[in-house]
Amino acid sequence: MLKIGCHLSVSKGFYEMGKDALKINANTIQFFTRNPRGGKAKEIDEEDVKKFKELAKENNIEVLLAHAPYTLNLCAIDESLREFAKNTMKDDLKRMEYFPGNYYNFHPGSHVKQGVDVGIKYIIEALNEIITPEQKTKVLLETMAGKGSEVGRNFEEIKRIMDGVKLKDHIGVCLDTCHIFDGGYDIVNKLDDVINEFDSIIGLDNLYAIHLNDSMNVLGSHKDRHSKIGEGNIGLDAITRIINHPKLRDLPFFLETPNDLDGYGKEIKILRSLYK
């Protein structure tokens, strides 16, 4: 069965989020650990977590992907901003221990004017401080579109970060289809080549999740504007090949398309019907 879900709100608690997933026939869920622009996370309500876990088990909701606020920057110029990012990630990971065996995704960062080498160095230092041997959550680096000074704009940069992380069992990759397309990887005409390139540089065994998005912009635009499935420049045919590809088809997919709950439900229905 296709593992597919979307970005859902946890503002009414985990149990309500789980019920939203069921309404749209999703069996994976992504959520922001706190307001996407940062801020304080809600206290964990253990009763709510327990109810959510029962609901998830009964209905085969399999994968939870927590997404860090996208304003966090582990390689900011300002040391206090880097500290803030580290502390937020540590707190997020502590909370994720309520959901052992799941994933935490983050944008590697923006090096601003420091250059990519300095950026990667800061990100590695931060991850080595944040990741603990005991943690039960895998931390995923998201592939980026290369907008501005984003780090992680190609597979090589992701690999360089991974190489610097000491606790390798706790790190992996989340591939965003809109981002890599905007980053210049032609998943429309050369999907096999892109997958082989990922495998030879990063290794497919390090790929744990896919953000499934169409793109408003063209190949190599470095823009990062998601569009609804089938309405962008990636298109439904290419997306159908992605979800059915033998090397990707068993991974969990997460929609981050511009939709309300109903819109996500429609996309999930279409994608399930196209999964062979």
Rule CB under 5 A: which residues touch Zn ion? 224
Q: Which is nearer to Zn ion, 157 or 224 (CB)?
A: 224
Find the part of the chain contacting Fe ion (CB under 5 A) among 27-35, 40-48, 141-149, 186-194: 141-149
Short-list 117, 116, 143, 240, CA closest to 198? 143
Taking CB within 5 to 8 Å according to partner kind, which of Fe ion, Zn ion, none is near residue 211?
Fe ion
> Do 149 and 111 form a contact (C-beta atoms < 8 A)?
yes
Q: Does 153 bind Fe ion (CB under 5 A)?
A: no
Structure token digits, residue 115:
């250059």
Least separation in angstroms between residue 54's CB and Fe ion is 29
Q: Which is nearer to Zn ion, 37 or 269 (CB)?
A: 37
Residue type, 71: T
Taking CB within 5 to 8 Å according to partner kind, which of Zn ion, Fe ion, none is near residue 224?
Zn ion
Structure token digits, residue 198:
């990922």
Least separation in angstroms between residue 6's CB and Zn ion is 14
Where would I find the H helices in 110-251? 116-130, 155-164, 177-182, 191-201, 235-244
Q: Does 138 bind Fe ion (CB under 5 A)?
A: no
Least separation in angstroms between residue 172's CB and Zn ion is 18
Least separation in angstroms between residue 211's CB and Fe ion is 4
Q: Which is nearer to Zn ion, 61 or 141 (CB)?
A: 141
Q: Is 98 exposed, middle or buried (0-12, 13-18, 19+ CB in 10 A)?
A: middle
Identify the DSSP state of 6. Answer: E
Q: Does 20 bind Fe ion (CB under 5 A)?
A: no
Say how many Å lie between the first and final Cα of the chain, rounded: 9
Contact set with Fe ion (CB under 5 A): 142, 176, 211
